[in-house]
Each structure stands twice: as C-alpha cells, then as structure tokens.
Structure 1
Amino acid sequence: MGSLVDRRLCERLGEGVGAGDLRSGEKILHLIRHGQGSHNLEALRQNSICVCAADGRASCCYNNPEHFDPHLTDLGREQASSLSKRGLTPELIVVSPLTRTLQTASLAFPENKVPMLVKEDIREVLGLHECDRRRKISEVRKDFDYPTFGDELEEEDLRFESYYPELEPHEHVWKRGTNILDWIAERPEKELALVTHSGFLRRFIVGSVACYDDDLKRSWKTGEARSVVIKFD
C-alpha cells in the first residue's frame, strides 16, 4: 500500500451537495453494499462470523454449498428497493458480477434509465468463501439482460480459482480498487454508483484511497449506501 500522500483523497459527500457543486477533478461515488443475501442470513442465524482461520473452511457458514453465488433474501430485496428512495442520481452504475449485487442494483435503480456496467474489479475478496464464487457469465446474462457485460469478463470464474483455497491478499484488493479509480478518472461521468461488497469496500477505503474519516472506515451494513467525493487531481 502506498502512502496516504500517494492516494486520491476520499471525503464524505456534504449534505445537499451535487455534481454541479464539484470542483475541478472531483467526482461523486455512491458506495453501496448489496442487500442481505442468504449467506448473511445464515450467519445471523448461527450468530457466526468467518471461522476459516481458526477452525478450517468446512465449519464456516460462508462455505455452505447452498450459498454458492447467493440470492437476496426477502429482507435483502426490501433493503435494495429502499435505496431507490434515496434520490441518488448517478450517471453510471458499476456492479460486481455476483448475483446479489446485480439484484441489488436492479432494485435500487429499477427504471433502467442509467447505464449499468458489470466489472470484475469490484468483486468481493476472492478465493476463500463459496458464497463469493460467481456463476458462468452466460448464466448470469440470462438472469440480467439490462447491464452491459464487458469483454474482459471471462466465462469461467478464473479469478476466484487463482486464489482458492487461500484468501486474496489485502494488497491485491487495494490494487483492484486503484484500478477502478484509474478507470473512473478517464470516464466522462461526474457521479457514479458502485454496487459491491463489504470486504471490498473496507479494503477500498483503507488501502485504495486516502481517507481520514473513521466513520467511513466502519463496516457497511447490508443495503447501506455512503456517498463520497474523490479528488482525482
């Protein structure tokens, strides 16, 4: 991880501030965690967190094969739908290719008026949990016909397999976050939404940007959105 000086400054978006109020080189990002998935509900029922490091993968609720690329629960769908009432106005929605994030984006922005682009770089931390595997892209496309799937998306989930059964190092996730920021810097949009995952978001805030706001560093709840300003110049 580079020094804070080397990274782009990230600050919470002020109340009432919109894209028209931005200074040169600034962009708004709405950082959204997906709604509750079946794996999250299972963890709540078991009052459990990841125990892979202590007890091995087999005993971790996130490795239950039933939660492979899980769907949203009823509560998760409600959380995602409630985001549509927030008045967020992104010009582009960037989405992780996992089912729960695509469902969340589709419910949060239901009118299909804003372009939606699927990007691998904002996936959950790779390699450890069954719930973070994705289906074949051809299968995902059948369920979600509105988003644009970039050419870089491979049919098989080779990214996950390249780390399995180990956890993707923090530094690699930080680099993915930097990659997406580099890509955003070249985009014309001034306001974007990223629909992604808690592990990615925590590492993004700590390692991909320079953030001095401790409240932004706390864990995201399911269905939570936080709006920030990134200074690109």
Structure 2
Amino acid sequence: METTAPSPYLVGNQKLIHLVRHAQGLHNLEAEMNRTSIQFTDAALSTLGWQQVRQQRENVSATGMLQGIEVVITSPLLRTLQTSVGLFGREEHEDQCGNKTSTLNHPPIIATELCRERMRKGRSRGSLSQCRSGFPQVDFSLIESEDDILWDADERETNEAVAARGINFIKWLLAREEREIAVVSHGVFLQETLIALKNKCLPLMDGDPFSRFGNCEIRSVIIFNESVKGLRLDSRKTNYCCGRIPKEITLQVDEVTNQ
C-alpha cells in the first residue's frame, strides 16, 4: 500500500481521528421494531445496514477521506468488522482476462478489544478463528484469546467506566505513529469517549457533543496530544463542543492551535 501524507492542516503532534459507528445491525432493527424475541450475541448487519455502508463508502471515496486514512482501528465484533471492511477495505475488480486488481488505497485494518462496546452479558464476539476466517483483510494480532473472555459480567458497564476505557483508548491511539486514523466502534463507546474528551479536541463541524451517533455516521475531530496525556475521568464536568463531519473539510491551519 502506498502511504499518504497526513492532512496538511495538522500541525505539531495533532491527530485527525474519524470516529465511525457501525451500520445498522440486526439487534438495532429489533430494538427499533420494539421486538425482543430474538437475542443476538454478535449481531450482523441488517439489509439496511449494508445499504448504509455502500452509501457511506461512496461519500468516503468522493471526499478523499479514503486516500488520507493511514490505518483503520476496529472493534472485533461482527457488525464493526463488516462496517470496517465495507467502508475502508479493498475492492477487487476482475478484468476480461480474469486478472484481479484492487483499489489503490486500502489502509490496513487492525482489530482491538480496546474499543469494544459497553460491557454487558450476552454480547460477545466470535472466536478468533472465526474472525480470521471471515475477515482475511483484518489484522487480529492484537487479540490475545481465542474465545471472548472479557464481556461476561452480570451487570452493564457504567457510562463512567466506558468513558475511562475511551480515554485509555485515545491515549493508545496517540502513541501510534499514524496521524490520520479511522476508528470503527459502537454508539455508547464513541459518545462517552467524546464527552470525556471535552475541550481536548477540535471538531470539524459544530454539533451537539452529547448526541448519540447514528448508524454508519462519521464524526471527525482533531485531537491535541499533549492536552490528553494528563486527562482524568473527573474532568468530564467541563462542557465542550464536538460535532459531525462535513462532506468537505475546509479547516485552515491557523484555526488549529494547541490547547
């Protein structure tokens, strides 16, 4: 893969993070229809979810975002893996001679437990072998156990605990060498992470910082490395503004300053 230079409006050690909630899953569809008859341990995308992925893939390609992203970090659950590969994975095309070619830019996709959904009973990922077999484009080397041993608690994880995990995840991202990163995760995790970041990030579009992500929605923020290092959960009390990504990013260099 040819590497693409980071976006020119990033200065110093800032990073551009594209936060993506997975497209509609079958469990979302059941909830929207007020049905609870079917229990989904690791829900796949619905028909509408796949349509959302196709539409968002067109937007990602049209805006040039796909060319700038250096790595995609994804939760290892089925719906996030499907969304990650659908949005950012290789697209192979076969010519008249049967030769297969792929899109020029297809950033590596790495799965990690760090950006999992809210911890709750009955929402586990598939086995590592299943994940690798179903998603050969994804790097699962950071997943340590064959079976899901993390999320078997009897009680739901609190918002405060999710936010703390989110900040630890952001610090992990900041330690990576890439400067433009896509993260495919879950609604509660992304929302609580943004709330916890407060004024430690710069949104690329005005919006409600506390609103829930829509399915397959992308919000992009510039994060200031130094200001996040010492961030603790108790600093969530201060308001900040963070919003949704516009179709075209026009932020100027002099508008981005370390805070």
Which bracket does the TM-score occupy, shorter chain normalised? 0.7 to 0.9
Q: Deviations over 1:84-139 (max 9, x none)?
A: 122323110000000000000111113272111001111110124x3x32111111
Contact 1:135 1:156 in 2 (8 A): yes
Distance 1:173 1:196 in 2: 12
Contact 2:75 2:81 in 1 (8 A): yes
Identity of aligned residues (%): 31
Contact 1:19 1:27 in 2 (8 A): no
The AA in structure 1 aligned to 2:213 is W
Contact 1:83 1:108 in 2 (8 A): yes
Q: Does 1:215 find its partner at 2:208?
A: yes
Give, in angstroms, the shift of residue 174 of structure 1. Answer: 1.9
Q: Tell me which of 131, 150, 153 is aligned to 2:141.
A: 150
Contact 1:175 1:208 in 2 (8 A): no
Q: Any idea what SS the aligned residue of 2:167 has?
A: helix
From the two aligned structures, give the one with the greater helix fraction: 1
Contact 1:119 1:153 in 2 (8 A): no
1:1-233 alignment runs, 5 A limit: 19-46=7-34, 61=36, 64-65=38-39, 67-87=40-60, 88=65, 89-111=68-90, 113-128=106-121, 130=122, 132-161=123-152, 164-210=153-199, 215-233=208-226
Tell me: higher relative CO, structure 1 or 2? Use CA pairs within 8 A at least 6 residues apart. Answer: 1
Q: TM-score, normalised by structure 2?
A: 0.70
Give, in angstroms, the shift of residue 211 of structure 1. Answer: 6.2
Could you say which residue in structure 2 is the equivalent of 1:7? none
Contact 1:30 1:193 in 2 (8 A): yes
Q: TM-score, normalised by structure 1?
A: 0.78
Q: Deviations over 1:39-71 (max 9, x none)?
A: 01111111x7xxxxxxxxxxxx3x843x12011
Give, in angstroms, the shift of residue 176 of structure 1. Answer: 1.7
Distance 2:137 2:89 in 1: 10
Question: Gaps spanning 5+ residues in structure 2: where?
Answer: 1-5, 92-105, 227-259
The AA in structure 1 aligned to 2:82 is Q
Larger radius of gyration: 2
The AA in structure 2 aligned to 1:204 is T
Give, in angstroms, the shift of residue 206 of structure 1. Answer: 1.4
Contact 2:128 2:143 in 1 (8 A): no
The AA in structure 1 aligned to 2:53 is A
Distance 1:186 1:218 in 2: 28
